[in-house]
Amino acid sequence: MAKKKHKEEIEELKAPDQFVSFWTKVGERVSRHRRGLVTFVVTICAATAALQGGRYFFGKRDAETSRAFAKIEQIASASLLPPDVAGSKAEKPDDGLPHFKTDEERKQAALKEADTFLVAHSKGKIAALAKLIKASLLRDLGKNEDATALYVELSGNSEVDSNLQLVVLDGLALAQEASGKVDAAIATLDKLSAASKSHQGFLADRALYTKGRLLETQGKAEEAKKIYKSISTDFPNTTLREEVTRRLALLDESTTGTATP
């Protein structure tokens, strides 16, 4: 059932529509499956491969390579076992899909699968997609220096489509932040904001929101407030509206001295 649903979603993305852009389609799918950075990146990479055409990424050994790449996606996006199954000796569902007890176990398995894939496919656009997924897995697993190195390798790489460079910058900023390199993260977010203008503003609201949050950590509340307000004005349909409203309210309370201890 899950495989059928996945196939239907890919066919939906492939469906021609002169009024709907690539990033609009991908963005809609991402919003339906937003479960964190890894799922976000996996969804985009899978959709990119599907929309751009198999041979463009997979080459002559299309079917075999496609299946190998899809295995990374299946593992990274696999559902977790329910607590009553995960904590017992009950059998796992017999649906042909991978299942894991914990999120970390799932990510470790996906990372291993990505490494296996990259041994066999170390170059080209499909390798770049696998590396992008690997970088997001490393970041989520707390291996931020390794993730940063991989994002830097992918940044500006000709094998990475200009669309995906936005995702690379987004991941790089998060890895830099997690490593305590806040100024570097802000500089990366500024690059992302500038680059997004050529791609219908994809990830622009996210870049601004993250920058505002980082400015808060530096005690620059007024600058952060300006950024949050610009998100509300420039991106009225942003999925970050609740977060932006909440942070603005907290900043207003702190500046008026009515914040709760």
Question: 124-167 pLDDT, tens per residue?
Answer: 888 899 999 999 999 999 999 999 999 999 998 998 888 889 99
The per-residue pLDDT for 194 is 96
Q: Is 137 inside any structural domain?
A: yes
Between 9-23, 114-128, 132-146, 184-198, the lowest mean confidence (pLDDT) is in 9-23
The per-residue pLDDT for 261 is 39
Q: Is 23 inside any structural domain?
A: yes
pLDDT category of residue 22 using cuts at 50, 70 and 90 = low
Check pLDDT > 70 for residue 208.
Answer: yes
| Rounded CA separation 244/238 (Å) | 10
Distances (CA, A) of 24 to 28, 91, 235, 237: 6, 40, 14, 13
Query: Which of the two residues, 1 and 200, has the higher pLDDT score?
Result: 200
Report field, pTM of the whole predicted structure over 0.85: no
| DSSP string of 196-255, one letter each residue | HGGGTTTTHHHHHHHHHHHHHHTT-HHHHHHHHHHHHHH-TT-TTHHHHHHHHHHHHHHH
Q: Is 177 inside any structural domain?
A: no
| Rounded CA separation 235/233 (Å) | 6
Number of Cβ within a 10 Å radius of residue 182? 15
Q: Is 259 inside any structural domain?
A: no
The answer for residues whose C-beta is within 8 angstroms of residue 160's C-beta and 6 or more apart is 125, 128, 132, 154, 168
Question: 36-94 pLDDT, tens per residue?
Answer: 678 888 888 877 776 655 555 555 556 778 888 889 988 998 888 887 665 555 556 66
Query: Which of the two residues, 189 and 160, has the higher pLDDT score?
Result: 189
The tally of CA atoms less than 13 A away on the side-chain side of residue 48 is 24
**Burial of 179 by CB count in 10 Å (0-12 exposed, 13-18 middle, 19+ buried)?**
middle
* 3-state class (DSSP) for residue 154: helix
**Paired tokens of 114:** 């990505």
The per-residue pLDDT for 126 is 86
Taking the mean position of all CA atoms in its chain, how far away is CA 79? 17
Q: Is 141 inside any structural domain?
A: yes
Question: 214-256 pLDDT, tens per residue?
Answer: 999 999 999 999 999 999 999 998 989 999 999 999 998 886 6
The per-residue pLDDT for 53 is 53
Q: Is 187 inside any structural domain?
A: no
Q: Is 256 inside any structural domain?
A: no
The per-residue pLDDT for 17 is 42
Domain count, the chain: 1
Number of Cβ within a 10 Å radius of residue 13? 18
Q: Which domain holds residue 66?
A: 2-146
Q: Is 39 inside any structural domain?
A: yes
